[in-house]
Structure 1
Amino acid sequence: MKDSQTKNKSTGMVFGKINYQLMIASVVVVFIGFILMSGTTDIYSFTKITLAPIVVIAGFALGFVAILKKPKRD
């Protein structure tokens, strides 16, 4: 009986709430970076050449952190 109770407790969500929040923030940051990159006028502007790729890489890094962050166990 105890064995089945511990089994049910351990089969919860893989990630914690903070992990999902960070992942959503990551997707939003990457999306903002791609919006900064879009457009057809002045393709050599600072925003499209420098700022947007930095924002996209920061978004992917945030996603990496969201996956690796261990949720706190109570």
Structure 2
Amino acid sequence: MKNKKSESTKTAPKNTPQSQPGFVFGKKNYLFMIIGLAVIALGFILMSGGGSDDPNVFNEAIFNAQRIHIAPMLVIAGFAIEIYAILLNPDS
């Protein structure tokens, strides 16, 4: 009596092409990822600063529009660009 495992291995073709591992993302994806990271970095750079040298003196510069509105919107836009870069079809 023959073993069923040996029969199944004998019937499988031996010359099946093996798929080559490649990059998951294409050139467009990486380009958009770099742009998104640059926008996020710019947002964090715009958020920094505004402190006072003397701890006894309060500096109102930390509450300007650049640090409260513009910089967080840039960070969120950068994350949106990153999501778009991940979901972008590299073949199109």
Q: TM-score range by the shorter chain?
A: 0.7 to 0.9
Q: Please, which runs of 5 or more residues in structure 2 have no aligned partner?
A: 1-14, 52-60
Query: How does the TM-score come out when normalised to structure 2?
Result: 0.69
Alignment of 1:15-54 (within 5 A): 15-41=25-51, 42-54=61-73
Aligned residues: 69
Could you tell me which runs of 5 or more consecutive residues in structure 1 were left unpaired when the two chains were aligned.
none
TM-score by length of structure 1 reads 0.85
Give, as a single letter, the amino acid of the residue that structure 1 aligns with 2:82.
G
Structure 1 residue ranges (4+ consecutive) displaced by more than 3 angstroms after TM superposition: none
Task: Answer with 1 or 2: which has the greater Rg.
Answer: 2
The separation in 2 between residues aligned to 1:3 and 1:28, in whole angstroms, is 41
Q: More helix by proportion, 1 or 2?
A: 1
Identity %: 45
Q: For 2:45 and 2:89, how far apart are their aligned partners in 1?
A: 31
